[in-house]
Amino acid sequence: MALEDAKTKIDDAFTREDPRGLSYENAFAGATSFLRRKYTKDLRGFDVAVTGVPFDQAVTHRTGTRFGPRAIREASTLQPYDPPYGWGFDPLSEFAVADYGDLAFDYAKVWEFPAALQAHVAGILAQDVGTVVLGGDHFVTLPILRAHVEKHGPLALIQFDAHSDTWQDDDMERIDHGTFVYKAAKLGLIDVDRSVQIGIRTVCDDHCGIHVIDAAEVHRTGPEAVAEKVRGIVGDAKAYLTFDIDCLDPAFAPGTGTPVWGGLSSAQAATILRGLAGVNLTGGDVVEVSPPFDHGGITAVAGAHVAMEILCLWGWTRRAG
């Protein structure tokens, strides 16, 4: 079946009729939607929408994450041949997943961007469809959180990151990828008692009361113990997961704006993510993939796998049985 499909299938992003199921289109050919899902703005009959946010005007160092969604989509074409390893279910066959395309915005009117993104995500959620977002720099998480909180109320935040992003900034109009968690906490968007940061390895004097599992603790105690600790912190709260790719060590993700040594390996991150199965996830994002600084596309590959893991986590509590 796979061989026959590879001989005849092309551009599943536009031609596929059934939104469910694996895809056997040649990985090196065709339109590069995320996981070969159908590009559509019509979400009737869909369960979850993947959308890109090509924005990098909030960075403090290297730009380039505006190209992240495109690179992650391209890297994802290696994945839809088989169910994701280690999960025991196939989210692509169980759920109707759409590639909703990217957010449109005026790059020259940066001050309009937060409201545009919030409305974009809110429009998806209003249709009772989940979201997985491909960034973009990490500022994008703040407008996304606002949209999720409008629908679900304050959320637990599960943050994978080298940086806490809680540097003090009481000007809520500033657009900065290093202060969005501080603002989310001060605005009451997140329940800090149920929130946790994983992989931190930079100094910040104020974590806003959020639990911190730094990279050293991950290395010392192991990813299984970390996943168990995170589940204990989050409990049964509704949660949002954001994964800054610089949580990974630069050896595994060089293509990012603010790389920091001593980070997680891709294997550690995968084990933690899979160990979070059962968390009540409303949605998630993977951000800070910067293709201009990538080598061999390995950061984009990592980003594509993280996005698939977020999809699995979202689907785990909603799967049949």
In a domain, 69, yes or no: yes
Q: Please tell me whether 295 is known to bind a ligand.
A: no
pLDDT digits (tens, 9 = 90+) for 103-121: 999 999 999 999 999 999 9
pTM comes to: 0.96
In a domain, 193, yes or no: yes
Q: Please tell me whether 246 is known to bind a ligand.
A: yes
Average pLDDT over residues 176-204: 94
Give the residue with greater pLDDT, 4 vs 84: 84
Instruction: Give the structural domain span for 158.
Output: 2-316
In a domain, 176, yes or no: yes
Q: Please tell me whether 165 is known to bind a ligand.
A: yes
Given a cut of 90, is residue 321 above it in pLDDT? no
In a domain, 124, yes or no: yes
What average pLDDT does the chain have?
95
CATH code of the domain covering residue 69: 3.40.800.10
In a domain, 204, yes or no: yes
Q: Please tell me whether 161 is known to bind a ligand.
A: yes
In a domain, 321, yes or no: no
pLDDT given for residue 1 in this prediction:
54
Cα separation, 169 vs 43, whole angstroms: 37
Residue 220 burial (10 A CB sphere; 0-12, 13-18, 19+): exposed
pLDDT digits (tens, 9 = 90+) for 80-100: 999 999 999 999 999 999 999
Cis peptide before 136 (omega within 30 of 0): yes
Per the structure, how many domains does the chain have? 1
Q: Please tell me whether 137 is known to bind a ligand.
A: no
Give the residue with greater pLDDT, 258 vs 1: 258
pLDDT digits (tens, 9 = 90+) for 252-286: 999 999 999 999 999 999 999 999 999 999 999 99
Q: Please tell me whether 106 is known to bind a ligand.
A: no
pLDDT digits (tens, 9 = 90+) for 35-49: 999 999 999 999 999
